Amino acid sequence: MLRQRVIISILVLPLVLGMIALGGWLYVAGVALALALAAAEFGQLFRHADLRPSIPLLVAGVSGLVIARFQLDAEHMALLLAAIALLSMIWHLVDYERGAMRSGTDFTVTLAGIFYLGWIGAYLVELRLLPEGQWWVLIALPVVWIADTAAYFVGKRYGRRPLSPRLSPNKTWEGYLSGVLTGTLAGYGLAALFASLGGNVDPVGGAIVGFLVSTIAPLGDLGISMIKREMNAKDTGTLLSAHGGALDRIDSWLWAGVLGFYAVVWAV
């Protein structure tokens, strides 16, 4: 399994780095595709409980919000959200008339998935649109992986106190705190590296981004674990083989975009 993970990472990483570097529509399309795949998996998860969230609306709504964040102002974004809510209501009213038994819950799941993955995920676009945005993306996202890796190895070796026994029994406070420390240092080090390459990024700002991301983004992983536990599913999908599904891979990156964006805007 480790070999499969390494091979997939080697194949995917250059593509991801290229999209981040180029930005524009290529980057937006990449984010929209990743989130659309995650949205389809999100909808499929709830099929385990005999629910019928609208997967077409999930995919279209999430993709639409990501693209709209790149193109529209706040007023038109609010209009789009209202339209999505209305379309979701109509879809599930019709589905109820066709025999669905839990359309109220289905409607709620559809809206929740679109908001969670689309609205929150679109901050990955917002972060890239900031001045020096490519560097901030290349700080916020790797910090998630670096902190998670440190948490895994330290937790495996020294972990004694469970962080979330029901959701993720293998996670420990020792591992989590080591991840926060490592993520903060990684944010500082990456910013210093990018500054030496000509990026206008402050290492202290990088440390702030690293601290916030490594402290809070792991909640994204626990949140999706909560859904998987309830739905009795090991992974959200099999798209990436040993890596699980798309949603398994981006569950923490969702919050890295939000946290990175506001850290840069408010603190950096």
pLDDT category of residue 254 using cuts at 50, 70 and 90: very high
Mean pLDDT is lowest, of 88-102, 105-119, 164-178, 236-250, for 236-250
Tell me what the mean pLDDT of segment 77-95 comes to. Answer: 96
At 226 the pLDDT is 93
pLDDT at 5 over 60: no
At 3 the pLDDT is 60
pLDDT at 145 over 70: yes
At 53 the pLDDT is 97
Tell me what the mean pLDDT of segment 215-220 comes to. Answer: 95
pLDDT at 208 over 70: yes
For the chain, the average pLDDT equals 91
pLDDT at 253 over 60: yes
- The pLDDT > 70 percentage for the chain reads 93
pLDDT at 2 over 70: no
Contact indicator for 268, 208 with CB cutoff of 8 Å: yes
At 215 the pLDDT is 97
C-alpha to C-alpha distance for 140 and 258, rounded to whole angstroms: 10
Q: What is the 3-state secondary structure (H, E, C) of the chain?
A: CHHHHHHHHHHHHHHHHHHHHHCHHHHHHHHHHHHHHHHHHHHHHHHHHCCCCCHHHHHHHHHHHHHHHHHCCHHHHHHHHHHHHHHHHHHHHHHHHCCCCCHHHHHHHHHHHHHHHHHHCCHHHHHHHCCCHHHHHHHHHHHHHHHHHHHHHHHHHHCCCEEECCCEEEEEHHHHHHHHHHHHHHHHHHHHHHHHCCCCCCHHHHHHHHHHHHHHCHHHHHHHHHHHHHHCCCCCCCCCHHHCCHHHHHCCHHHHHHHHHHHHHHHC
